[in-house]
Every structure is written in C-alpha cells, then in structure tokens.
Amino acid sequence: MSEQQSGEERVPAVVLDYLPHGRADDDRPQHQKPALAYALGIEEFRLFEVTLEEDVSLTITDRVDADRSNDLVASVREIEYEDLSGAAQSELEHAIRDVVESDERRFVDFYNDAQPITLRLHQLNLLPGIGKKLRNNILEERKRKPFESFEDLEERVSGLHNPKEVLIERVLEELREDDLKYRTFVRVEEQQQ
C-alpha cells in the first residue's frame, strides 16, 4: 500500500518531534503559529512535516495518520532529512528501530525475498557490510528454508551479525543521502508539492 496523500488513504506515521509553538523561523507572533510535528511514515519511511489543528497536542513516539483526512491534521508536507529539527533527527534511528521491531516479519521477508537489481548487483549487497560471500550464504540458506526471524537469520548465516541493525542502518542511509542510485526501503517523491 502506498503512502499517498489522497483523501481516502491512511498514512500511518510515528512522531519524531512536536513543536507546540511552531517553527522557530516563523516570524509571526507565537499565538498565530500553528503547532506542528515531524513524523516518519511507517510503511515507506517518508518524512513529513505535519501542521496540526488548534488545541492538538502530541508527544514523541505517538502514532498519527499523517494525511489530510485526519481530524487532527491541518496540512501535511513531505520533507527531506535536512528539513527535520535537530530533535527529530536524533529521534529518527529510534523510530526506525521501533518500526522494524514491531513488524519483524516484513523485514525478515526482505532477506527472504530480495532479488537481483542488475546482473552484478543484488538488493542484499545494498545492505551495509554484505558483500558477495555473505550474500551468497544468505541466498543458499533461504533456498533450504525461509527465514523465520532475525534470530533465525543470525543463527543460520555465519558472518551475519545483527541483521536487524544492518537494515536500520540502510534505512537511515536512504533517508540521509540525496544521491543514492538505489533505494529499497524509502520511497522519495520525484516532485515535491
């Protein structure tokens, strides 16, 4: 399911930072600045600046639908990593870890389902620390039986230490780097609204 901002689709997200008095660079008087939150989309790891309706209060790690059909949300704007507040940037890794841990099956299935991108490059090679030998070990093991959990992956593939952290590191890299040729986890809008 895509995190489109059409009126019907939900865009589940986790709050990275909440600014009850709006952005610091907003020159309007404090009482005129709307509260806003920075949020991470759970499904496609997109980053959002969510302007909230009056009298709405959130806290970091709250789950919210970052779409216009939500009664709490006045507007939503997709942003890039550099647009996040410092607090949101420091919370990002924790939020990604929480998403990965709460939906372990989805991310273990990445190891089960990853495919070649080109004749010489495989999706598994995009993960930090996974070279040709480790990739081949993963491919051999998954042929025998699909992986059931991160623990199962770590036990069956020698040399693969902490496969969950490897995924978290890749998601962070995809969010921080503008000029990556291949993105596996983060969907980026071609044209910002």
Dist CA 71 CA 65 (whole Å): 9
Whether the Cβ atoms of residue 37 and residue 19 lie closer than 8 Å to each other: yes
Dist CA 36 CA 34 (whole Å): 6
DSSP state of 20: T
Q: What's the alpha-carbon Rg for the chain, to the nearest Å?
A: 19
Whether the Cβ atoms of residue 41 and residue 61 lie closer than 8 Å to each other: no
DSSP state of 116: B
Token pair, residue 164, equals 């969950």
Name the nearest CA neighbour of 178 among 169, 189, 167. Answer: 189
Helix, strand and coil in the chain, % to nearest 5: 35, 15, 45
Q: What phi and psi values does residue 76 have, to the nearest 5 degrees?
A: -135, 135
- The sign one gets for the Cα dihedral 131, 172, 141, 1 is negative
Residue 86: pLDDT above 90? yes
Is the pTM higher than 0.85? yes
Q: What percent of the chain has pLDDT over 90?
A: 67
* pLDDT per position as a tens digit, 53-82: 888 889 999 998 888 777 888 889 999 999
* pLDDT per position as a tens digit, 105-146: 999 999 999 999 998 899 999 999 999 999 999 999 999 999
Mean of the per-residue pLDDT values for the chain? 89
How many other CB atoms sit within 10 Å of the CB of residue 54? 7
At 147, is the pLDDT very low, low, confident or very high (cuts 50, 70, 90)? very high
